[in-house]
Structure 1
Amino acid sequence: MSGPYVIRGSVVLPESELNWRFSRSSGPGGQHVNTADTRVELRFPLARTEALPPVWKERALERLADRLTEDGVLVVRADQHRSQWRNRETAAVRMAALLAEATAPPPPPRRRKRTPRRVNERRLQEKKRRGDLKRGRSRGGGWD
């Protein structure tokens, strides 16, 4: 693998807590596919980890609740590539990105702003103009 995978800031995926499993992939590869274990399953015990700050861990557990197994393990699978090494890279990068997104702080609340009076007036004038135009079509003047 190519070094530590940064979640955000100085927080990285701890190599000691990652659990790798390999199996045969159903993707491209011809006869090679029947003999090599190229599918990668990366498991990270999110509920038990000490690598994340408590606030981040809480946020991630809440946001990723539907993706966790019953014992709080986050699972990412990769089998796009013919090479196990590239699938490992893909799974680790995907795991780091998933955790980065899940631990991000919530966006600031949206503040409602008043619609400017001129905008409302212009909209109503346009509605009136369109209505008059359509009303003018039904008055039977024209195509005789």
Structure 2
Amino acid sequence: MPLIPVTRSISIDSDELEESFVRSTGAGGQHVNTTDSAVQLRFDVGNSPNLPEAVKHRLAAIAGRRMTADGVLILRSEGSRSQAMNRQEVRERLFAMIRAATFVPKARKATKPSKAAKARRVDAKKARSGIKAGRGRIILD
């Protein structure tokens, strides 16, 4: 059960990653029809003991439709003709998603514009209105 480091504080057990190899689609000629070079990686986020609860929730939000109702994250890679390269690429994508889920977004503090900012805005609107009013027809009395 070797641990794979993802961040300084998070490591994933390699037994938690379930990989299956299937035939790839697209370019590759006859090679595509004979080898199982595409990689499908399944990672059970909900039952992973190595991820904190907050990271699990943020990872589910990041994953979107790639997450099943059971909490299993499914990633697929078939960009390369090499199974090893596809395997490495799909793992890197998983680790990047987990790293992104570790960042806690800053809470937004609601602010109001100052009195001076409101006055500048109104003055700018009046100036613009004057410019546009000057484009109209000239009425001679």
Q: Give the shorter-chain TM-score range.
A: 0.7 to 0.9
Task: Please provide the CA RMSD for this pair.
Answer: 2.6
Query: Does the alignment pair 1:114 with 2:100?
Result: no
In structure 2, C-alpha distance between the alignment counterparts of 1:36 and 1:133, rounded to whole Å:
71
> For 1:52 and 1:110, how far apart are their aligned partners in 2?
26
2:127 pairs, out of 113, 126, 129, with 129
Is 1:18 aligned with 2:21? no
One-letter amino acid of the counterpart of residue 15, structure 1: S
Paired position in structure 2 for 1:75: 74
TM (normalized to structure 1)?
0.79
Structure 1 residue ranges (4+ consecutive) displaced by more than 4 angstroms after TM superposition:
61-66
Shift of the alpha carbon at 1:37? 0.8
> What's the offset of the Cα at 1:5?
4.6
In the alignment, structure 2 segments of 5+ residues that lack a partner are none
Range 12-21 or range 50-59, more displaced: 50-59
Pick 1 or 2: higher relative contact order, CA cutoff 8 A, min separation 6.
Answer: 1
How many aligned residue pairs are there?
139
1:57-76 equivalences under 5 Å are 57-61=56-60, 64=63, 66-76=65-75
Please give the alpha-carbon distance, in whole angstroms, between the structure 2 residues aligned to 1:68 and 1:99: 13
Change (3 A) 1:115 1:126: same
Residue 126 of structure 1 and its aligned partner are, at CA, apart by 1.7
| Aligned-residue offset at 1:7 | 2.9
CA–CA separation in structure 2 for the residues paired with 1:131 and 1:62: 46
Aligned to 2:68, the other structure's residue is in SS state coil
Q: Deviation at 1:82?
A: 1.1
Q: CA deviation at 1:141?
A: 5.4
- Deviation of residue 94 (structure 1)? 0.7
